[in-house]
Structure 1
Amino acid sequence: MNRLKELRKEKKLTQQELADYMQVTRRGYQKWENGESNIKPKKAEELAKIFNVSVAYLLGYTDDSKMYDDELTVEVEGNLLSVSEKRFEEEYRNNLLKNFVRFLSDENLFLSNNEIVDIIQLLFSLSTNHGNSLKSKTFQDIFINKNHKYHKQLEKEYSFIFGDEFARDDTEKALHGYILEETRTKEKSEKLLETLKNAYGERDYSDFL
């Protein structure tokens, strides 16, 4: 799923030219481009700099080509991963906005742009798992300590979140996680759409994705 081929063509470079620049054989480079072998972290970072994109974008993990100064590229069990707290936070906020707007639209609730942003900011300020406020620290101390005298009270007051009444069942969890993972990029979304059409025939799956 890496974007080496399209990025190389945008730069009007041949495989041999890029292979020479990276000091690898043409066949070695072809294996990267075709996904036959994993790119080593340092080589991935060099390639990202050549194309002025993030390593995560180069590898096809995200549609965000923006470079982040805290991006770290590591290899775990043969898989190349790109980690950036700044990118994660930005993507998290963007996804929160997208999902909240979709929720409003699905439920026929109409709010202005400013009202939507204000509500999201309010949610962040009220949430106990964001920031380093005294409220957040106190919540965490009580939550992780089941012997704390206020632990049962906390579970009761947050039962909508931590209880089973509104929780997804195992099938819903698996499906929800799969959709989130398989729609992180345009290419993955198109692949999932093709799978659905092959399995269930032609229909409008846009709401599903």
Structure 2
Amino acid sequence: MTNKEVKNRLKKLRIENELTQKKLHEETGFPIRSLQNWENGDRKINEENAQKLADHFGVSVGYLLGYSDTKLDIEQVKKEIQNYTSRNNEPIDEVSLNTTIELLKQVNFLNLDLETVVNLYFYNLSDVHKVDTLSDLLYFFDSEAKAWISALEVAEGYESDGIISRINKLGEYREELNQYLEILKSDEEFFQDTGYKINSIKAQEEIKQMIEDYDTDFLDFLKYHDLYLADNEIDLITNLMYSMSNKNNLFLSNLGENNYEQFELQKKSNYSQLFDYSSLWQMQAEGYKYINQEEKNNNE
């Protein structure tokens, strides 16, 4: 696997929050040129500026800089809840806080936004409604969505887009969590029927990561070897790259079918096609060697 440079998520977060670079400049005070350099990877974001940007978007520094997939860290959640409670001169409820944090750890894959996590804390303060399990969390999402729908009915026009965005986000959280719970249920039923324990979620995550690594490494490979293409060849090479990637994904999804040799032959064939597009590209990697025209003539 190649060593890939970690890319920050500044542009991704800006777009998700429907901000232009000019608007982000106005909200944070950072020069537009600095934002452009950071987004393009031309300059690294230093620790102080990274913290300011992370706080602005309500994410962890690690998530902003791209070296962590955890959108929120525990200290960040505690700090935000403390900010809310201190404004109302209220003490933090340690039981509700600990319950919220434990749930957050269990649903790390949802990448909940900070506002939703804070609302979950206050939701847990109620004597009637408690979110102790992942199934309870489904009801929390429904309750929050209903509250926002009610707010939408009396909202000013300029507020509508933000409220609709919140409702949609809660719906996405609920759908992803429900799919997760269905997979857990299916795994448990399989264990009850067969006596074998499986972890479908972990398997899917590993396959997804392998696929992403393959796709990224292949693109890096093309870039490293400076493959030059004529304009009319771009579509051909693009389609071929997708073909190779899709075949690899199919192979990874069917590891138990013992079709490795067939897959290797297909990959060799695709590589051969790829090399035909440029006489400038020569390589030797993982047992595949490009044979230039002179070597071909000598072998004939």
Class of the TM-score when normalised by the shorter of the 2 chains:
0.3 to 0.5
Relative contact order: is structure 1 or structure 2 higher (C-alpha 8 Å, sep ≥ 6)? Answer: 1
TM-score, normalised by the number of residues in structure 2: 0.29
User: Highest Rg: 1 or 2?
Assistant: 2
More helix by share: 2
